Structure 1
Amino acid sequence: MYHFKNLSNWTSIVCNLSGTVSKVNISGVNLKGTLAQFNFTLFLNLTCSLDLSNNNLSGPIPPAIGNLSKLTYLDVGLNYFDNIIPSEIGRLTKLRYVSLYSNYLNGSIPYQFRNLRKVWYLDLGSNYLVNPDWSKFSGMPLLTRLSLSYKELTSGFPGFILDCHNLTYLDLSLNKFTGPIP
């Protein structure tokens, strides 16, 4: 296992009692670059959160992010990430909060998101995502907030939403859905 010297003294890093990293919060610090060379294996025990929001990060979100299996909070919103959303995010089954808001992500929303059964907050708004096969999605039983706004999705109403019984906030604005709302 790799240990950083005095890591718990870093402002944006929180360690648990055993000295392993549990939280990384590098939001709003004007961080520039990509995650292409980021070594996610150094943070396999990251048990709480990864917050890289509100920076100037670009390029794709690496599939290796799916190795952070203990993660409960992921926020990479308000950056310049592009390319597809890696389906490996669906392996992060302990996630409760996911924000990919306001990036340049494109392609389809991975149906593997259906594996995120503990998520209560999901924001995929303000990206360039295209219509997924909604039939491959299933309800997220704890989901209370969902935003699929600003995408210009053109398919029918996302039926899986009807199985999200705890939903209290839904934003589907600025899309071009067709057909009836069930």
Structure 2
Amino acid sequence: MGGGTRATATVASFLDVLILLSLTTMSTAILDPLDFLALQSIRKSLEDMPGSTFFSSWDFTSDPCTFSGVLCDTEAQPNKVVALNLGDARAGSPGLIGRLDPSIGRLSSLAELTVVPGRVFGTIPDSIGQCKQLQFLGISRNYLSGPIPDALAGLSRLQTLDLSYNLLSGAIPAGLGSLPLLANLIFSRNKLSGRIPPISSPALTRLDLRRNLLTGPLPQRLPPSITYLSLSWNNLSGNVDRVLSRLQRLNYLDLSMNRFTGSIPAAMFGFPITSLQLQRNLFTGEVAPLDQVTIPTVDLSYNLFTGHISPLFSSVQNLYLNNNRFTGQVPGSFVDRLLSSGIQILYLQHNYLTGIELNPTSAIPLTTSLCIQYNCMIPPSQATCPLKAGTQKTRPTSQCIRLRG
């Protein structure tokens, strides 16, 4: 009996050891070996900037799934990295310095990759195109250079691609515009050149390509799903009325600082836009909204628009029509809105306007800024203008004789 009891106790102890070893193994060997090696390579290629402590938790003698910025799928066996957020995401925190290691492409289950603003330089590894599960790629406000890899156009699950505020150059890869799930394409403030490729992604809502070196016309068809379109500060040209007419969900439009020509579709002034920026182009023709304009800010300045100013603009809070070729009287409804503080900014300078029905004794509210100088009339003495409007109060008589006659 004594021997049997001892044997039973030995077997029980052996089972306890096996269970303990199993639990120990599960707690230390939980990450896929390829993902483990990839994280090691990524760590070697990047460093904390002074003041950053992001990598202080990256101790490879412990479980990498506990590292800052690393999220694992703990249901998978072995575990896989599904999100990699490099750097402290708190506002104002110092970022990282170094390069992006090509080993990122080994993270086969990666769905999210972000790099906080810092000094990450060099090119974007082509290998990121191997991360077929990638849905969110955001590397903005760093010093990435070189071209955008064509391989990114193979990421069929991608929903957001933000590479803004870098030094990227070359053309936008043609295939990016047809990714089926892409909702946000943000390449602003780079050095991208060439034409905007065809864009047909049916889910696209935000297209931001401002401050690049892009040339040529807009693609003939942009997805009607777009709500935010910013293409300012490029060298784009051509007619846009047909393209814009289809974008009836727009709530923000900035085409300023380009060389666009032609007219503006009247229907566009009825879109649910909060800010309409069309300044400093070569737009022509009359501007005739179909109904009262409820867009808070409309900037049509520095173009070649002609004809009378429509009274339907009197409901706009901030209206910039300066430096065009508008003629005729300022609508009376504008004066009413000015005196009631309904208009905050009304810039009409540098046109060919011939009058405004504003009583000299009427007090313009201090909250309102009115500039109407350098037209074919004497501007109200209360009007205050920005310095760039110049010092000349009226146009030379020779430029206004035909209008008055």
Aligned twin of 2:116: 27
* Alignment of 1:169 onto 2:252: yes
Q: How far apart are the structure 2 equivalents of 1:23 and 1:116?
A: 20
1:45 counterpart letter in structure 2: Q
How far is 1:9 from its partner?
4.3
Larger radius of gyration: 2
Contact 2:240 2:264 in 1 (8 A): yes
Q: How far apart are the structure 1 equivalents of 2:151 and 2:246?
A: 30
Contact 2:218 2:236 in 1 (8 A): no
How far is 1:90 from its partner?
2.2
Runs of 4+ in 1 over 6 A off after TM superposition: none
Contact 1:13 1:21 in 2 (8 A): no
Q: Percent identity?
A: 31
How far is 1:179 from its partner?
1.6
Contact 1:33 1:56 in 2 (8 A): yes
Aligned twin of 1:142: 225
Q: Per the alignment, do residues 64 and 7 of structure 1 end up closer, same or farther by CA in structure 2, a change over 3 Å counting?
A: farther
1:62 counterpart letter in structure 2: P
Q: How far apart are the structure 2 equivalents of 1:13 and 1:132?
A: 42
How far is 1:7 from its partner?
6.0
Aligned twin of 2:314: none
1:151 to 218, 234, 237: 234
More deviation in 48-57 or 9-18? 9-18
Deviations 1:89-121 (A, max 9, x none): 12422111110001000000001x1x2110111
Q: Judging by fraction of residues, say which structure has more helix.
A: 2
Aligned twin of 1:51: 138
2:202 to 113, 117, 122: 117
Return 5+ residue gaps in structure 1 as ranges: none
1:43 counterpart letter in structure 2: C
How far is 1:88 from its partner?
1.6
Contact 1:14 1:23 in 2 (8 A): no
1:71-86 to 2 correspondence within 5 Å?
71-86=158-173
Aligned twin of 2:284: none
Q: How far apart are the structure 1 equivalents of 2:129 and 2:64?
A: 16
Q: How far apart are the structure 2 equivalents of 1:28 and 1:61?
A: 18
Aligned twin of 1:4: 35
Return 5+ residue gaps in structure 2 as ranges: 1-31, 37-62, 81-108, 266-405
Q: Per the alignment, do residues 156 and 10 of structure 1 end up closer, same or farther by CA in structure 2, a change over 3 Å counting?
A: farther
Paired positions, count: 176
SS at match of 2:245: helix
Q: How far apart are the structure 2 equivalents of 1:92 and 1:11?
A: 31
Contact 1:13 1:23 in 2 (8 A): no
Greater relative contact order structure (CA < 8 Å, 6+ sep) = 1
Q: How far apart are the structure 2 equivalents of 1:98 and 1:8?
A: 30
